[in-house]
Chains A and B, each alone.
Chain A
Amino acid sequence: MVHASSMYVIQKTERTVIEMALENGVTGLGETWGTPDVYALARRFARDCLGKDAFDRVALREATLGRTTYDNRFGRNGLATLAGLDLAAWDATARSLEMSLAELIGARRRDSIDVVSTLPAAILPQAVSRAELTAHLDDLSNTRKVVDFALEQRRKSGFRSFKLKSAAYSPEWDWKLLNELREAMPGARIRFDPNANYAPATATELCRRLDSLELEFFEDPTGELEGIARLKAAVKTPVATNMWVVRDEHLAPAIRRQAVDVVLGDLFMWGGIDAWRRMARTAHAFGLKPALHSVYETGIATVANLHLASALAEVEYPNDSGLHFLSADVLAEAQEVKDGAMQLPAGSGLGVTLDRGKLENLTLETTEVGRCG
Chain B
Amino acid sequence: MAAPVSVAYTHVHSIRVASGAEALVARALIADGTAGFGFTLNLDAGVARDMAAWDALGRSRKVSLFGLLGGSFRRKVNLARDENPSIPPDWTALRKGILDNRYELLRIDPFAWGSVELVQTIAAVAASFDLGIALLAPNAHPWEIQYCAALAATIKGDDTRIIFRKELSQKQIQVSSEPGFGIDWELEAGFAGVRWQGPG
Contact call A282/B125, Cβ cutoff below 8 A = yes
Within the complex, what minimum Cβ distance (angstroms) separates B62 from chain A? Answer: 9
Q: Which A249-277 residues have a C-beta within 8 angstroms of B?
A: 251-252, 255-256, 273-274, 277
- On whether A285 and B61 interact (CB within 8 A), knowing A55-B71, A56-B72, A104-B68, the answer reads no
Given A274-B71, A281-B121; A248-B4 close (CB under 8 Å): no
User: A97 near B4 (CB under 8 angstroms)?
Assistant: no
Q: How large is the interface on B (under 10, 10 to 19, 20 to 34, 35 or more residues)?
A: 20 to 34
Q: Which residues in B have their C-beta under 8 angstroms from that of A286?
A: 95, 125
A107 at the binding interface (Cβ < 8 Å)? yes
What is the minimal beta-carbon distance from B145 to any residue of chain A, in angstroms?
22
CB-CB under 8 A from B140, the residues of chain A are none
Closest chain B CB from A24 CB (angstroms): 12
- Is B93 in the interface zone, CB < 8 Å from A? no
A121 on interface, CB distance cutoff 8 Å:
no
Q: A-B contact count, CB below 8 Å?
A: 70
Collect the chain B residues with CB atoms within 8 Å of residue A255's CB: 99, 128
Question: Whole-angstrom distance from the CB of B15 to the nearest CB of chain A?
Answer: 31
**With known contacts A97-B61, A103-B4, A251–B128 Cβ distance under 8 A:** yes
CB nearest to B3 among chain A residues:
A107
Residues of B within 8 A of A160 (CB): none
**A100-124 contacts to B (CB < 8 Å):** 103-104, 106-108
A82 to B: closest C-beta gap in Å = 13
> In the complex where A99-B4, A106-B1, A252-B130 touch, is A277 in contact with B124 (Cβ < 8 A)?
yes
B120 within 8 A of A: yes
Per the bound structure, the CA–CA distance linking A273 and B72 in Å amounts to 15
List chain A residues, Cβ under 8 A from B123: 278
A106, B4: Cβ atoms closer than 8 Å = yes
Q: How far is the CA of A98 from the CA of B67 in the complex (A)?
A: 14
A154 at the interface (CB under 8 A from B): no
Does B129 lie at the interface of the complex (its beta carbon under 8 Å from any beta carbon of A)? yes
Contact B130 A278 (CB under 8 A): no
By the criterion CB–CB under 8 Å, are A104 and B4 in contact?
yes
Q: Which residue of B lies closest to A105 (CB)?
A: B4
Q: Is A235 an interface residue (CB 8 A)?
A: no
A278–B127 CB distance below 8 A: yes
Choose among B66, B67, B91 the residue that contacts A285 (Cβ–Cβ < 8 A): B91
Please give, as numbers and ranges, the residues of chain B lying within 8 Å of A326 by CB-CB distance.
none
Quick check: B4 and A282 within 8 Å, CB to CB? Answer: no
Tell me the minimal C-beta distance from B189 to chain A in angstroms.
34
A351 nearest CB across to chain B (Å): 15
For the complex, give the distance between the alpha carbons of A93 and B95 in Å: 34
B residues in contact with A274, CB < 8 Å? 70-71
Contact call A282/B70, Cβ cutoff below 8 A: no
Measured between alpha carbons, how far is A108 from B67 in the docked complex, in Å?
18
Which of A58, A104, A282 is within 8 Å of B71, CB to CB?
A58
Q: Which A residues are in CB contact (< 8 Å) with B127?
A: 248, 278, 282
CB atoms of B66 and A278 under 8 A apart: no
> In the complex, A106 Cα to B1 Cα: how many Å?
8
28 A-B pairs (CB sep. < 8 Å): A55-B71, A56-B72, A57-B70, A58-B70, A58-B72, A58-B73, A59-B72, A97-B63, A98-B61, A99-B61, A103-B4, A106-B1, A106-B117, A248-B127, A255-B99, A255-B128, A273-B70, A274-B71, A277-B70, A279-B124, A281-B121, A281-B125, A282-B124, A282-B125, A282-B127, A285-B121, A285-B125, A313-B1
* Interface positions of A (Cβ within 8 A of B): 55-60, 93, 97-99, 103-104, 106-108, 248, 251-252, 255-256, 273-274, 277-279, 281-282, 285-286, 313
Residues of B at under 8 Å CB distance from A?
1, 4-5, 61, 63, 66-68, 70-73, 91, 95, 99, 117, 120-121, 123-125, 127-130
